Structure 1
Amino acid sequence: MDRTFVMVKPDGVQRGLVGEVITRFERRGFKLVALKLLWIDRGLAERHYEEHRGKPFFDELVRYITSGPVAAMVLEGREVVTTVREMMGATQPAKALPGTIRGTYGIDVGRNIVHGSDSAASAAREIGLFFADGELIEYERALDPWIYER
């Protein structure tokens, strides 16, 4: 099965949306295999957003993501990277479709509730940044045959 990294950002945690975000993904059929609440330090934030280093918004992005606790998680399932991105909605909440997480709860691009990996390679990198070996749990769910044909 594919895996992706998802993070409920400080605004989502402060607004009490962690459970709602997890519920949406679980109801879609994705399996939660890792979850932690943490306060990201500057070093981890800079490594996480390395691709944006040198861009005008980099410092503000790092300042924001370190401003409060986040909920980091790993989801597992078929096509999980692309499906999670679709469920989150466009980065700019004003352009996010109604019913998506950002379309429902987001107002401002700088406070858009949730982050999700944009590719399988990014997912592997981000999972490695936030979770140590052994923190991802392997388990069978009784409902999997009702979600996947094989």
Structure 2
Amino acid sequence: MFKHILVPTDGSPLSQDAVIRAVAFAREAGARLSFCHVEPPMPTSFGSLAGITSATIEQEFHAKVDGRAQDILQAAEQVAAEAGVPCARVLLVRSKPHEAIIEAATTQGCDLIFMASHGRRGVTALLLGSETQKVLTHSKIPVLVYR
């Protein structure tokens, strides 16, 4: 039924569990995976000191963020490789992760988004919302939420 599944991952324990479940799901379905990680852009306040932009600060920020993202994606790829499931990686820098996830699913030609629910509750959920909820609300591609 599903042939290409996008799996957003942020490296959190629940997201890592979702990666494991998505790999098992893809293996049973005979599908391939694209693991997606979305990083925020560098905050503008980090890029300037007293109004002077520092290329060094920007380079260090991007190196650290990219290194962390690559580690997260490599860990997901390892799980897929051990299960014999073909996969690819997608790394995006966007201020709105839900938009990046939907964009990645569309551009990669995915027919399912398989993602974790981080289960924010109370005031935090009310104020911040949930990226999973935003993907569910805006995606035209089916979304399977692992909890």
TM-score by length of 1: 0.30
Structure with higher strand content = 2
Q: Which has the larger radius of gyration?
A: 2
Structure with higher helix content = 2
